[in-house]
Amino acid sequence: MKRKKTLRILAILIVAGVLVGAGIGLYMFFMPQRDIRNLPADYNLNASGLVAEFLDDIGSANRKYLAADGESKILEVTGTVARISENFNGEKVVLLKGDNDKAGVSCTFMHETNERVIGIETGDIVSIKGVIRSGAYYDEDLEMYINVTVEKSDLVD
């Protein structure tokens, strides 16, 4: 009788374990992408300072801003709008760059935030929040400075 009860408890524990495991697995598999707009910024920076940080020591800046699983730091970057364009995916791209800077911060918006770019003009000083994808550096093969890239961007009011 006691043995039967022990077996029943064991069976319940196993089934519960399998269900919890399957639940976690399913959650992980269908886990939605991070909602950058509703997450707080890890760093508040100005565009020139961020570019300078990468140009001074790209290894150290990569370690500071880029995460091993690709879910890198969320930045709020303030700078002067140097160019507004659109990428292959129809997303607006705002380049923040100071007149004397060698590179800038290229902020790619989303289809959901594209409209927020309307009204922005070159020369305006704006703050943009997004996730960093890569840093600035001089590329000898392209013979040009590569901008910091920030994606999933939105304008900070």
Residues that bind other proteins (CB under 8 A): 28-34, 62-63, 66-72, 85-89, 91, 93, 106, 108, 133-135, 139, 141-144, 146-147, 149, 151
Q: Label the pairing between strands 74-86 and 43-46.
A: parallel
Shortest Å distance, C-beta 11 to other proteins:
28
In the complex with other proteins, the residue whose CB is nearer, 44 or 87, is: 87
Shortest Å distance, C-beta 155 to other proteins:
19
d(CA 134, CA 62): 8
Shortest Å distance, C-beta 77 to other proteins:
15
Shortest Å distance, C-beta 122 to other proteins:
16
In the complex with other proteins, the residue whose CB is nearer, 8 or 111, is: 111
In the complex with other proteins, the residue whose CB is nearer, 116 or 152, is: 152
d(CA 38, CA 22): 29
DSSP 31: P
In the complex with other proteins, the residue whose CB is nearer, 35 or 157, is: 35
Question: Hey, what are 52's tokens?
Answer: 């300078």
d(CA 89, CA 91): 6
Shortest Å distance, C-beta 74 to other proteins:
13
In the complex with other proteins, the residue whose CB is nearer, 126 or 148, is: 148
Q: Label the pairing between strands 105-109 and 125-134.
A: unpaired
Kindly state the helix (H) or strand (E) to which residue 61 belongs, with its residue range.
helix 58-65
> Do the Cβ atoms of 120 and 94 come closer than 8 Å?
yes
